[in-house]
Amino acid sequence: MNESTASPNYRQSVGVMSAAQLVTGLGDQIYSVALPWLVFNLAESAFQVGVFRAIESSATAVTGIAAGVLVDRLGPRRTLALVALLRPLVLLLVPTAQFGRRHSFPLLCLVGFLSLSLHRLKWTSWYSSIPRVVPKAHLSQANAALQLSHAAEAAVGPALAGLLINGLGAIRSLFVDMLSFGALWIALPFVPARPAEAPRGGAVWSETREGLRFLVGNRTIWAFTLFVGALNVMLGSVIIVTLLKLRTEFHASAGRTGLVLIGAGAGAVFGSIVSPVLVRRLQMRVVDIIGVAALALAAMGMARSDAALSLSLALVTFSVTVGNIGYHTVRQTLTPDHLQGRVTGTSVALHRSLVPLGAALLGFLTEWKGASSTLIFMGSWVLIALAVFRRYLRGRAQVELKL
């Protein structure tokens, strides 16, 4: 979006969207602890939790590209209304099944798959909204504001989830997540509708192909997509492996687990605050901070106390948050307005397509070698991915940005 077409009230719009993300994100955090907790209690197997995570995360690869087309067709506003309507109904399946005594592992996997599909649809809507209302010169700040709300709910959410699970039980705590989606209805008037060049009912595949052609044809976005995909094989399940370490090695309760996971939110909050300055000054070099995540993952594997584990987790989320904001800013800056939804949805689908495989692999490794060894392996993988990306970027991808 050009400066001349940006909304004069874009700060207010970003503020309301970030607030809505914070409220619904708190619900997401409750869900993200409660559902794996239910799976582990039902199956008592780290491998089963890994399988659950693989099935759940496959939603991004299966529905991500279609989500981008849907956002460009309906517009972010209508898409978020659809999410606000469907997500509580999906979560309601869990207490309904419990009431009918039909609680099962396949049902939890189905709920996880559908919930994550709607979650990715929500995030595609948020991130395709930002460049439609914010001047390019302020994209990194707007992305940081949205990421800060995500980080804040990650800081508070795990502890809240632990307390709710201890007090209400995992199933009843899901009702809090259902109620949180009322915030989306309040935010809808501040979310942009379809852009002027929105698709007008053409073939879904041709619209998808248009976004895919642009994504692959832009060397910088394509390099980032490949790199983030390599990272997500491991980082997509870091909270699950952390949870398994707490359960299997620390024998932690739900409340204690939530307190340790606060580190994830604290690191993300700090990363969101400093990222606009880092992205503006470092430009493409901002991705080098992912090396901190690699070292922190190894430190998590060697951690023998709650404090050490939480601090290391904070370093992981700090570096990943800064890298994510840099990635989103680069992609939004280089993508035409009418392709924002499709390029966002397609890139997310591609770079998260191997998360299910990674989740199953990490579940197997945790069952076989333990969570500590698995975390050290994850750190090594991330470090190698960073080295390969930097070499690829120097040789093929060049970009000049005014961030």
Q: pLDDT digits over 292-308, tens only?
A: 999 999 999 999 999 99
pTM exceeds 0.85, yes or no: no
Give the model's pLDDT for residue 195: 57
- Using one digit for the tens of pLDDT, what is the confidence trace for 74-87? 888 888 889 889 98
pLDDT tier, 5 (very low <50, low <70, confident <90, very high otherwise): very low
Per-residue pLDDT at 400:
46
Q: In the predicted model, what is the mean pLDDT of the chain?
A: 80
Residue 42: pLDDT band (50, 70, 90) is: confident
251-260 pLDDT, tens digit each: 888 778 878 8
Does pLDDT of 203 surpass 70? Answer: no
**Residue 54, H or E segment:** helix 46-74
Flag whether pLDDT at 402 surpasses 50: no
The predicted pLDDT at position 342 comes to 79
Checking if the pLDDT of 194 tops 50, the result is yes
pLDDT score of 199: 53
pLDDT at 27 exceeding the cut of 70: yes
pLDDT at 248 over 70: yes
Say which residue, 114 or 60, is predicted with more confidence: 114
Look at 92-106, 360-374, 378-392 and tell me which has the smallest mean pLDDT.
92-106
Which sign, positive or negative, has the C-alpha torsion 28, 32, 37, 40? positive
**Which residues make Cβ contacts (< 8 Å) with residue 369, sequence separation at least 6?**
none
Residue 204 has a pLDDT of: 60
Q: When comparing pLDDT for 399 and 265, which is higher?
A: 265
Check residue 373 and give its pLDDT: 93
Tokens of 181: 């989606």
Average pLDDT over residues 307-325: 91
Residue 205: per-residue pLDDT: 64
State yes or no: pLDDT of 318 exceeds 60: yes
Rounded to whole angstroms, the Cα distance separating 68 from 258 reads 33
What is the spatial distance between Cα 159 and Cα 265, in angstroms, rounded to a whole number? 10
Reported as a single tens digit per residue, the pLDDT across 109-159 is: 888 888 888 887 887 887 777 777 777 777 777 777 777 777 777 677 777
2 — pLDDT class (breaks 50, 70, 90): very low
pLDDT digit string, tens, across residues 329-374: 888 888 887 787 778 777 877 777 777 778 778 888 888 888 999 9
**pLDDT beyond 90 at 314:** yes
Tell me which of 61 and 186 has the higher pLDDT.
Answer: 186
Cα separation, 339 vs 352, whole angstroms:
20
**DSSP structural state of residue 285:** G
Average pLDDT over residues 39-55: 75
d(CA 71, CA 78): 8
Confidence of residue 383 (pLDDT cuts 50, 70, 90): very high
Q: Which band of pLDDT confidence, cut at 50, 70 and 90, is reported for residue 101?
A: low
Position 8 pLDDT exceeds 60: no
Could you give the CA distance from residue 313 to residue 325 in angstroms, rounded to a whole number?
18
Average pLDDT over residues 202-216: 74
Q: Distance between CA atoms of 235 and 358, rounded to whole angstroms?
A: 9
Report which secondary-structure segment, H or E, holds 295: helix 290-302
pLDDT of residue 68: 77
